[in-house]
């Protein structure tokens, strides 16, 4: 039994990567007269491509146009207050400006650099202070119906 398994594995390894030739008729067929069963099990690729292009889309037609779902218009995007928007601009804008001037080699006056750092720190502190302090509902997973 072990000898048969070794032979089977050896034949698999020897033939690894070989691709079968699909143009040859299968063993036991009637040769060039067609398959032994008399039914064409493997139509050639051109026939399949023609049938695929002739097939109509099942989701088109007058019966689908009248029942088509049209979603309601989406709700407006949420807006924020001016002070909160200024804090976000200070939080992300000030470091971006400082990094850009550093990369481009532009030298800003010291007072502008201090103002940008102050804008970053001030924006961060403002957003932290205005954060919601109430604990979240433990059963709330964020899904809205």
Element (H, E) at 67: none
Whole-angstrom Cα distance, residue 140 to residue 145? 12
Q: Are 47 and 41 in contact (CB under 8 A)?
A: no
pLDDT tens-place values along the chain, 145 residues long: 677 888 988 888 888 877 767 776 656 555 555 455 545 555 566 666 565 555 566 666 555 556 677 889 999 999 999 999 999 999 999 999 999 999 999 999 999 999 999 999 999 999 999 998 888 777 777 776 6
pLDDT tens-place string over residues 53-74:
555 666 665 555 566 778 899 9
Q: In Å, how far are 24, 100, 126 from 114, measured between CA atoms?
A: 81, 16, 18
User: What confidence score (pLDDT) does residue 52 get?
Assistant: 54
User: What confidence score (pLDDT) does residue 81 get?
Assistant: 93
Domain range annotation of the chain: 82-129
């Amino acid at each position: 039994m072990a000898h048969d398994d070794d032979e089977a594995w050896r034949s698999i390894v020897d033939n690894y990567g070989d691709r079968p030739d699909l143009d040859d008729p299968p063993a036991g067929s009637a040769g060039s007269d067609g398959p032994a069963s008399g039914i064409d099990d493997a139509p050639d690729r051109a026939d399949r491509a023609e049938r695929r292009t002739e097939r109509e889309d099942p989701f088109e037609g007058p019966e689908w146009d009248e029942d088509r779902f049209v979603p309601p218009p989406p709700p407006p995007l949420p807006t924020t207050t001016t002070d909160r928007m200024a804090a976000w601009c200070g939080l992300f804008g000030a470091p971006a400006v400082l990094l850009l001037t550093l990369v481009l080699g532009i030298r800003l006056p010291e007072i502008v650099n201090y103002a940008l750092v102050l804008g970053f720190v001030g924006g961060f502190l403002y957003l932290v202070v205005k954060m919601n302090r109430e604990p979240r509902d433990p059963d709330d997973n964020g899904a809205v119906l």
